């Protein structure tokens, strides 16, 4: 049997897309059958099952087909990106496959690019709203989302944009577990830890080369994703924007932004505000590429989708779309001026004086359960 299914390949209540077969190719459940309990799914996975269509394919083709089958046309962008994170975790945190690794990462990059092209505001909101167990894996997907959106804004070719996104999805592959562990460390980094961090871009390139990644844009972007134009970055300390590939520089900015807005122990929204200010400041000091920094701020706006804001009216709400200017997003009111929770959010155009944004609001101050897909106008998948 070429490709065994995992628990996440089967869903209670969803018709099977193909015949389910055992290791001898014997059909256990016909296409269209519905499994009615998780216990039955667990039993089947334990036995080792696959879809019949995979039996006729080469292992690489079956793996690609299996990965592509996770994404359906009727899925909302939040669910698509959630599945991308789960699949990236599965590809990069288990034994990395010696064949087909690059193709699987390319499939995930293409799915992210399509999602960002169709629903950029929802994709950007997922940076703030989606929660996942592994910080390190979600961080790479978050950076890939930003690369997709900024790359599209800069009219970078689709081929180069996908290569840069593949780099974002694999930039820290040599230290994913270590990164999760560092994330919860309260004390300052030790010399040994800094050594591991400083060598991770080149170690990642070595690992990628070992699993037959040959794309020079992908590899160069990973190698330079911590270099700064003023020479203060690592591992090589290369100076000058002209000496650094654009992908590495976009990732450098996106990496810094997402690292600081990620849900950690501190206040997310206050931190996001500081991050935008930091990016402007660092761009001016040449520690980041200034032109890209400006483009980044222009693209996200001062109140990126997913931010919680207060308006002149006294209402609080969530940014669902970027507006015509950087500080005039479209907001859905969640809390009235008197503190009442709205059953149905009300759309506010903050370019109108009485609904102008006055400040960002910490997520904890907006005590409302959110249904992100419906807020962005999607049905639950
Ligand atoms: Fe990194």
Ligand 1 midpoint to CA 252 (Å): 8
Most confidently predicted of 182-186, 245-249, 366-370 = 245-249
Closest CA to 223 of 258, 199, 239: 199
Closest CA to 361 of 290, 286, 229, 269: 269
Where is average pLDDT lowest: 37-46, 49-58, 278-287, 312-321? 278-287
Q: In angstroms, rounded to a whole number, what is the distance separating the alpha carbons of residues 16 and 339? A: 47
Mean pLDDT taken over the chain: 88
Q: In angstroms, rounded to a whole number, what is the distance separating the alpha carbons of residues 108 and 98? A: 17
pLDDT value for 146: 97
Ligand 1 midpoint to CA 257 (Å): 13
- Average the pLDDT over 279-305 and give the result: 83
Confidence check: pLDDT of 290 > 50:
yes
Ligand 1 midpoint to CA 201 (Å): 6
Ligand 1 midpoint to CA 89 (Å): 16
Ligand 1 midpoint to CA 208 (Å): 14
Ligand 1 midpoint to CA 198 (Å): 9
Ligand 1 midpoint to CA 294 (Å): 22
Query: Is the separation of the CB atoms in 316 and 333 below 8 Å?
Result: yes
Query: Is the separation of the CB atoms in 209 and 98 below 8 Å?
Result: no
Query: Count of residues for the chain?
Result: 381
Confidence check: pLDDT of 285 > 50:
yes
Topology of the domain comprising 70-300: Hypothetical protein af1432 (1.10.3210)
Ligand 1 midpoint to CA 93 (Å): 16
- 133: alpha, beta or left, given left = phi > 0 and alpha = psi -120 to 50? alpha
DSSP 8-state assignment for residue 237: -
Ligand 1 midpoint to CA 76 (Å): 29
Most confidently predicted of 3-17, 143-157, 295-309 = 143-157
Radius of gyration from C-alpha coordinates of the chain:
22
The values of phi and psi at residue 14, to 5°, are -100, 130
Most confidently predicted of 65-74, 90-99, 179-188, 217-226 = 217-226
* Model pLDDT for residues 119-145, shown as the tens digit of each residue: 999 999 999 888 777 889 999 999 999
* Model pLDDT for residues 175-185, shown as the tens digit of each residue: 888 787 777 77
Cα 45 from chain centroid?
A: 28
DSSP 8-state assignment for residue 230: B
- Average the pLDDT over 357-381 and give the result: 85
Ligand 1 midpoint to CA 296 (Å): 19
Distances (CA, A) of 326 to 17, 41, 198, 305, 330: 45, 48, 35, 12, 11
Ligand 1 midpoint to CA 174 (Å): 9
Ligand 1 midpoint to CA 270 (Å): 24
DSSP 8-state assignment for residue 96: P
Q: How many other CB atoms are there within 10 angstroms of residue 262's CB atom?
A: 19
Most confidently predicted of 4-18, 83-97, 205-219 = 205-219
Residues with CB under 5 A from ligand 1 (ion): 171-172
343 sits in which H/E element: strand 341-349
Ligand 1 midpoint to CA 225 (Å): 6
State whether residue 88 is helix, strand or coil. helix
Q: In angstroms, rounded to a whole number, what is the distance separating the alpha carbons of residues 17 and 270? A: 45
Cα 105 from chain centroid?
A: 13
Where is average pLDDT lowest: 187-196, 284-293, 331-340? 284-293
- Average the pLDDT over 291-295 and give the result: 88
Cα 330 from chain centroid?
A: 23
Domain residue extents for the chain: 1-57, 70-300, 308-373
Confidence check: pLDDT of 13 > 70:
yes
Kindly state the percentage of the chain with pLDDT values over 90. Answer: 52
Q: Is-same-fold flag (1-57; 70-300)?
A: no
Confidence check: pLDDT of 288 > 90:
no
The DSSP annotation for 212-254 comes to T---HHHHHHHHTTT--TBS--SSS--B-GGGS-HHHHHHHHH
Ligand 1 midpoint to CA 202 (Å): 10
Ligand 1 midpoint to CA 193 (Å): 13
The DSSP annotation for 154-198 comes to TT--HHHHHHHHHHHHHTTGGGHHHHHHHHT--SPPPHHHHHHHH
State whether residue 346 is helix, strand or coil. strand
* Model pLDDT for residues 30-85, shown as the tens digit of each residue: 999 999 999 999 898 888 888 888 877 777 788 888 888 889 888 999 999 999 99
Confidence check: pLDDT of 111 > 60:
yes
- Average the pLDDT over 166-188 and give the result: 85
Ligand 1 midpoint to CA 41 (Å): 37
pLDDT value for 272: 59
Model confidence, pTM:
0.88
- Average the pLDDT over 276-292 and give the result: 77
pLDDT value for 114: 96
Confidence of residue 289 (pLDDT cuts 50, 70, 90): confident
Topology of the domain comprising 1-57: Molybdopterin biosynthesis moea protein, domain 2 (3.90.105)
Q: In angstroms, rounded to a whole number, what is the distance separating the alpha carbons of residues 42 and 19? A: 17
Most confidently predicted of 97-111, 137-151, 258-272 = 137-151
Pairing of strands 20-21, 357-360: unpaired
What does the CA dihedral 191, 280, 332, 259 come to, rounded to 10 degrees? Answer: -10
Ligand 1 midpoint to CA 325 (Å): 32
DSSP 8-state assignment for residue 239: B
Ligand 1 midpoint to CA 259 (Å): 10
Query: Is the separation of the CB atoms in 218 and 103 below 8 Å?
Result: no
Question: Residues 35-38: contacts with CB within 8 Å, 24+ apart?
Answer: 35/10, 35/11, 36/12, 37/12, 38/12
Confidence of residue 354 (pLDDT cuts 50, 70, 90): very high
Ligand 1 midpoint to CA 44 (Å): 39
Ligand 1 midpoint to CA 372 (Å): 29
Ligand 1 midpoint to CA 150 (Å): 19
Beta strands in 58-142 (DSSP E): none
């Amino acid at each position: 049997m070429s490709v065994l299914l995992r628990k996440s390949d089967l869903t209670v209540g969803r018709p099977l897309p193909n015949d389910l077969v055992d290791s001898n190719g014997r059909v256990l459940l016909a296409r269209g059958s519905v499994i009615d309990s998780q216990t039955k799914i667990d039993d089947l996975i334990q036995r080792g099952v696959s879809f019949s269509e995979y039996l006729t394919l080469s292992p690489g083709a079956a793996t690609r087909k299996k990965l592509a089958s996770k994404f359906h046309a009727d899925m909302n962008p939040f669910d698509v990106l959630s599945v991308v994170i789960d699949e990236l975790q599965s590809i990069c945190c288990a034994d990395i496959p010696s064949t087909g690794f690059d193709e699987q990462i390319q499939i995930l990059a293409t799915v992210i690019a399509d999602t960002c092209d169709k629903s950029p505001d929802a994709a950007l909101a997922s940076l703030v709203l989606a929660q996942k167990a592994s910080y390190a894996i979600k961080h790479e997907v978050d950076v890939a989302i930003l690369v997709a959106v900024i790359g599209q804004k800069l009219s970078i070719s689709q081929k180069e944009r996908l290569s840069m996104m593949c780099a974002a999805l694999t930039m820290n592959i040599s230290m994913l577990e270590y990164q999760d562990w560092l994330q919860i460390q309260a004390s300052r980094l030790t010399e040994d830890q800094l050594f591991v961090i400083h060598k991770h871009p080149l170690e990642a390139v070595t690992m990628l080369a070992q699993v037959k990644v040959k794309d020079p844009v992908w590899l160069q972007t990973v190698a330079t994703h911590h270099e700064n134009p003023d020479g203060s970055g690592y591992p090589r300390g290369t100076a000058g924007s002209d000496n650094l590939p654009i992908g590495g520089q976009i990732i450098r900015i996106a990496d810094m932004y997402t690292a600081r807005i990620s849900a950690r122990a501190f206040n997310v929204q206050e931190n996001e505000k500081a991050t935008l200010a930091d990016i402007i400041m660092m761009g001016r000091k040449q520690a980041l590429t200034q032109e890209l920094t400006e483009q980044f701020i222009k693209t996200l706006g001062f109140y990126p989708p997913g931010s919680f804001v207060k308006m002149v009216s006294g209402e609080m709400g969530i940014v669902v779309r970027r507006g015509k200017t950087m500080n005039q997003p479209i907001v859905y009111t969640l809390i009235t001026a008197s503190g009442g929770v709205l059953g149905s959010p009300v759309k506010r155009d903050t370019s109108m004086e009485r609904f102008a944004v006055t400040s960002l609001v910490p997520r904890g101050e907006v005590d409302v359960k959110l249904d992100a897909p419906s807020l962005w106008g999607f049905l639950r998948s």
